[in-house]
Amino acid sequence: MKAMTRTEYGPADVLEFVEVEVPVPAEDEVQIRVRAAGVGPEVWHVMTGRPYLVRIMGFGLRKPKNPLLGVDVAGVVEAVGRNVTQVRPGDEVFGTCDGSLAEYACARPDKMAPKPNSFTLEQAAALPTSGCTALQGLRDVGRVAAGQSVLIIGASGGVGTFAVQIAKAFGAEVSGVCRTNAVGLVRSIGADHVVDYTREDFADGERRYDLILDTAGRRSLTHLRRALAPRGTLVIVGGEGGGKWTGGFERQVLRATLMSPIVRQRMRPLTSTARREDLLALKELAEAGRLTPVISKTCGLSEAASVLSDAQEGHGRGKTIVTT
């Protein structure tokens, strides 16, 4: 099969489009014929090994342990291990795996769910990582409730576009922060208010929010807290920016975690993972017409290097999809 691989960390130049062996599913895995893979900053970080904390997290210190890249996947089940009962060959599924930038991949069934009936496989590939991050950040960590005022920072990005729609589905009044050229997009996916950060400061004291979901990861806690209600909740998703060793981890985990117990405002970092039950929740929202992926670009597998060169540090609108 064809796959996008690399043997060292670095920019997109290290990638090679080569022939590799088709993976064989273990007893508790499924083999998927990949039809589409979602690409975002999470793939860029693993490709470059930056910040270096990524390498310590198990991806390999000096060189990548796994030559394949890609997490989000949508495709057709080709074969199942003998312990698998949740899916069958022929099922169209979406979820996460190791190495989705390839023609075939193996995945755990608890990281998979049936594709939403109303979605194409390309749309389904945009959902897993970004959709689960938005859902868990708002529902589980942020405890979003109907009638709350919610601010989504980075509202035009992969996580942000889902977060705007999910917060609206929960009945919140949603404001989205983005740059000028994305104002129309953010408004079109349901935001009640849109803040163009190139022209105004959402933390100017004019308004305070019950819940802030920060997916951009570049603003200081002091700045964010100025926009947060006295007993509001800040959920920090983005770990972008920062130094080459820890990136945004210092701000996201250390400072927020240490400060939260001594102030009335809740500040919580989020580390998300795709779970079958949450993928099913996203499927339900999608089929109810409450959730639609924003896909900014689509390309073939052989062109994946070109889109990964653009995936740096959370820039972009919506998700990029690679098809096979």
pLDDT at position 125 is: 98
Task: Give me the count of residues in the chain.
Answer: 324
The HSE-up count of residue 303 (CA atoms within 13 Å, CB side) is 12
DSSP-assigned letters across all residues of 177-213: EE-GGGHHHHHHTT-SEEEETTT--TTSSS--EEEEE
Query: Which of 129, 208, 213, 215 has its CA nearest to residue 168?
Result: 213
Strands, sheet with 149-153, edge to edge from the N-terminal-most edge strand = 193-196, 173-178, 149-153, 209-214, 228-236, 266-269
296 φ, ψ to 5°?
-85, -30
Please tell me the distance from the alpha carbon of residue 213 to that of residue 256, in angstroms, as a whole number: 13
Tokens encoding 127: 């959902």
| DSSP secondary structure code for residue 21 in this structure | P
pLDDT at position 164 is: 98
| Model pTM score | 0.91
CA torsion through residues 123, 124, 130, 136, sign = positive
Domains and CATH numbers, the chain: 2-127+293-323 (3.90.180.10), 130-269 (3.40.50.720)
Query: Which of 124, 181, 133, 173 has its CA nearest to residue 156?
Result: 181
pLDDT, one tens digit for every residue, the chain (324 residues) = 999 999 998 888 899 999 999 999 999 999 999 999 999 888 888 888 766 666 676 677 788 889 999 999 999 999 999 999 989 999 999 999 999 999 999 999 999 999 999 999 999 999 999 999 999 999 999 999 999 999 999 999 999 999 999 999 999 999 999 999 999 999 999 999 999 999 999 999 889 999 999 997 778 888 999 999 999 999 998 655 555 544 555 555 555 565 656 567 888 888 888 999 999 999 999 999 999 999 999 999 999 988 887 655 445 689 999 999
End-to-end distance of the chain based on CA atoms, in angstroms?
11
Please tell me the distance from the alpha carbon of residue 40 to that of residue 237, in angstroms, as a whole number: 14
pLDDT at position 256 is: 59
